[in-house]
Structure 1
Amino acid sequence: MDDCLFLDFDGTLIDIAATPDAVIIPAGLPALLQTAHDLLGGALAIVSGRPLEQIDQLLAPFAGPAGGQHGLEWRRAAELPVESPEPDRAALATITGRMQQLAGLHPGLRVENKPHGAALHTRGAPGADPAAAEVAEALARKFAGSFELQAGKCVYELRQSGGDKGSTVRHMMAEPLFAGRRPVFIGDDLTDEAGFEAVLPFGGSGVIVGERRPTRATTSFPTPKELHRWLTDFISQVQPRPGDQQP
Structure 2
Amino acid sequence: MTEILPPVVRNSAFFFDFDGTLVEIASRPDLVQVEPRVRDLLRALDDRFGGAVAVVTGRPLDVVDGFLAPLALPTAAEHGSVRRGASGRMHAGDKGNEVIEAAHRMLKPLAEANPGLILERKSSSVALHYRQRPELSEACAAAVEEVVAKNPRLVILPGKMVFELKPKGVDKGIAVRAFLEEAPFKGRVPIFAGDDVTDEHAFAVVNELGGITIKVDDGETQAKYRTDRSGLFDWLSGLAEKP
Q: State the AA in 2 paired with 1:202.
A: L
Hey, what does 2:32 align to over in structure 1?
23
Quick check: 1:130 aligned with 2:138? yes
Aligned counterpart for 1:121 among listed residues 110, 126, 129:
129
Aligned residue in 1 for 2:70: 61
Shift of 1:143: 1.1
Partners of 2:165 and 2:59 lie apart in 1 by: 13
Residue 8 (structure 1) aligns with: 17
Q: Which residue of 2 aligns with 1:147?
A: 154
Q: Which amino acid aligns with 2:231?
A: E
C-alpha distance in 2 between matches for 1:165 and 1:152? 13
Structure 2 residue matching 1:12: 3-state secondary structure? coil
1:161 paired with 2:160, answer no
1:41 correspondence with 2:50:
yes
Aligned counterpart, 1:109: 117
Q: Contact 1:31–1:62 (CA<8 Å) still a contact in 2?
A: no
Aligned to 1:171: 178
CA contact (8 A) 1:13 1:227 kept: no
- Measure, in 2, the Cα distance between the counterparts of 1:105 and 1:33: 41
Deviates more, 1:124-133 or 1:28-37: 28-37
Determine the structure 2 residue equivalent to 1:207: 214
| Whole-Å separation in 2 of the counterparts to 1:225 and 1:190 | 20
What is the DSSP-based 3-state SS (H/G/I as helix, E as strand, rest coil) of the residue aligned with 1:62?
coil
The amino acid that maps onto 2:215 is I
Gaps of 5+ in 2: 1-8
2:194 to 172, 187, 199: 187
Indicate if the aligned counterparts of 1:109 and 1:121 stay in contact, CA closer than 8 A.
yes
What is the aligned length?
Answer: 234
Structure 1 residue aligned with 2:232, among 227, 231, 242?
A: 227
**Secondary structure at the residue paired with 2:183?**
coil
Question: CA–CA distance in 1 between the matches of 2:160 and 2:125?
Answer: 17
Q: Is the 8 A contact 2:214 2:226 kept in 1?
A: yes
Instruction: Give the Å deviation of 1:46.
Output: 0.5
Instruction: Please tell me the residue identity of whatever aligns with 1:179.
Output: K
Q: Distance in 1 between matches of 2:104 and 2:43?
A: 36
Give the superposition deviation at 1:214: 2.8
Secondary structure of the corresponding residue to residue 28 of structure 1: helix
Q: Aligned-residue CA RMSD in angstroms?
A: 1.3
Instruction: Give the letter for the 1:108 counterpart.
Output: G
TM-score (norm 1): 0.90
- The residue that corresponds to 2:5 in the other structure is none
Looking at structure 1, the residues matched to 233 and 170 of structure 2 have their Cα atoms a distance apart, in angstroms, of 28
Distance 1:44 1:89 in 2: 30
Shift of 1:140: 1.3
Separation in structure 2 between the aligned mates of residue 105 and residue 45 of structure 1, nearest angstrom: 38
Deviations 1:33-65 (A, max 9, x none): 011012110111110011111111110111121
Task: Give the Å deviation of 1:87.
Answer: 2.5
Measure, in 1, the Cα distance between the counterparts of 2:103 and 2:22: 30
Using the alignment, how far apart are the partners of 1:5 and 1:59 within structure 2?
A: 16
Question: Secondary structure of 2:157's partner?
Answer: strand
| AA in 1 matched with 2:81 | L
Post-superposition shift, 1:163? 1.2
Indicate the percent of aligned positions where both proteins have the same amino acid: 36
How many angstroms does 1:95 deviate by?
1.0
